[in-house]
Amino acid sequence: MKVPTMRVPGLRRWKADDLPGVTAVARIDRRTKRLTKRLKSGEIAIIDHVDVDRVSAEALVACGAAAVVNVAAGISGRYPNLGPQIVIESGVPFVDNASPELFERIRDGDVVRVHDGVIYRDDEVVGKGDVQTAETVDAAMAEARAGLSVQIEAFAANTMEYVRRERDLLIDGVGVPKIRTSLEGRHVLIVVRGYHYKEDLATLRPYIREYRPVLMGVDGGADALLEAGYLPDVIVGDFDSVSTKALTCGAELVVHAYRDGRAPGLERVRRLGRDAVVFPALGTSEDIAMLLADDKGADLIVAVGTHNTLVEFLDKGRSGMASTFLTRLRVGGKLIEAKGVSRLYRSRISNSSLLLLVITTLVTFGVALRISPVGQIWLEGLRDIWNAFIFWLVGLFS
């Protein structure tokens, strides 16, 4: 009779820690934005991301990824995207153009090992890729810059197409929905979870405290506001990258829908028992947030984490970023970047003014005590208390 043997799950896998390379739990998802929401420090990220952009790279690094394996081309050569360089400069191993079969051969939570571009599960080779270094990324970036003119021409063509299809919304505001939150005559702070959003929010604390702007989060920007200790007033987006906590915090919800009226994010809102306003429009959610603030009479629009340069538009990797360029032209008279506010804004009451006010108050109080009859009585009482204290203190040591 054969005696069955007991197998301890996972024991063999963890013995690979003694082998070269990085051994860790793998988190796998074709959408990097979705993956970073559950990626934990020390885990290996397996993604499918052509032209890894700066925001995605910073999110992977911030999550503490032990290594990044990409089954697509991290730098395709279309334009000089910044993501791979950020990952490598942070000391995180980056394997590019890996075997697409990884998404069939590896399950989320498997323990894998990455070494010299080879991906192992237990002792089995499940995929291979190209190890990217600072030198290979620099060479790919140089090649991408050489072909940048083609991307600029495509960007210009997309811009003209957006004008043709959305001129009524862009020029006359036709199609902007009504919302209950009043923006008329107020400042509106639009937060996108993009470039340097944490630093910008930190520098804007005095401004937010004094002006009390309407806080508008764009998808994950709502979570950025919550993390910074603020409660968003309005949340705009397709709601694919915003937490349930943010959607149920009491903010007014504006769902970004397709032009034909389809709004995938609306189903999620209804499951949470919340109501929402639907805003059908082309372009990006940060575009419609700006158009909404402008149409509803905001005096000033302050942008945090948004895209404002051609490289950033291209780095987003979507043809729809042409709409952001035109939207900025549309609201340009009201729009200011967060860094501009932090540089131009100073509190109306400076620290030196507060110090002078305190000193003046103390001097005035002292003079009043000195010259008034009531003040003389108070001074005599204070003098008696002081003498009694000194007598008691001397008695402790005698």
Q: How far is CA 367 from CA 284, 329, 360, in A?
A: 64, 60, 11
Using left for φ > 0, alpha for ψ between -120 and 50, and beta otherwise, residue 100 falls in alpha
β-pairing, 187-192 with 214-218?
A: parallel
Q: What is the pLDDT of residue 232?
A: 97
- What number is the average pLDDT over the span 253-273? 90
Give the CATH number of domain 11-144; options: 3.40.50.300, 3.20.19.10, 1.10.287.1400, 3.20.20.20: 3.20.19.10
Taking the alpha carbons at both ends of the chain, their separation in whole angstroms is: 95
pLDDT score of 86:
94
Q: What is the DSSP letter of 260?
A: T
Torsion (CA) 160, 163, 166, 172 in degrees, nearest 10: 180
* Residue 123 to residues 14, 89, 119, 167, 278, Cα–Cα distance (Å): 11, 30, 10, 59, 52
pLDDT in tens, 113-125: 999 999 999 889 9
Relative to beta strand 67-70, strand 44-47 is parallel
SS3 category, 35: helix
**For the chain, what percent of residues have pLDDT higher than 70?**
79
Residue 139: φ, ψ to 5°: -65, -40
Task: Identify the residue with better confidence: 259 or 250.
Answer: 250
pTM of the predicted model as reported, rounded to 2 decimal places: 0.59
* In the predicted structure, residue 246 carries a pLDDT above the cut 90: yes
Strand partners, 214: 188
* Domain range annotation of the chain: 11-144, 174-344, 352-380
Tens of pLDDT, residue by residue over 344-372, are 555 455 566 667 777 877 777 676 666 77
Per-residue pLDDT reduced to its tens digit, 274-329 = 999 999 987 788 889 999 999 999 999 999 987 655 555 555 555 545 566 677 77
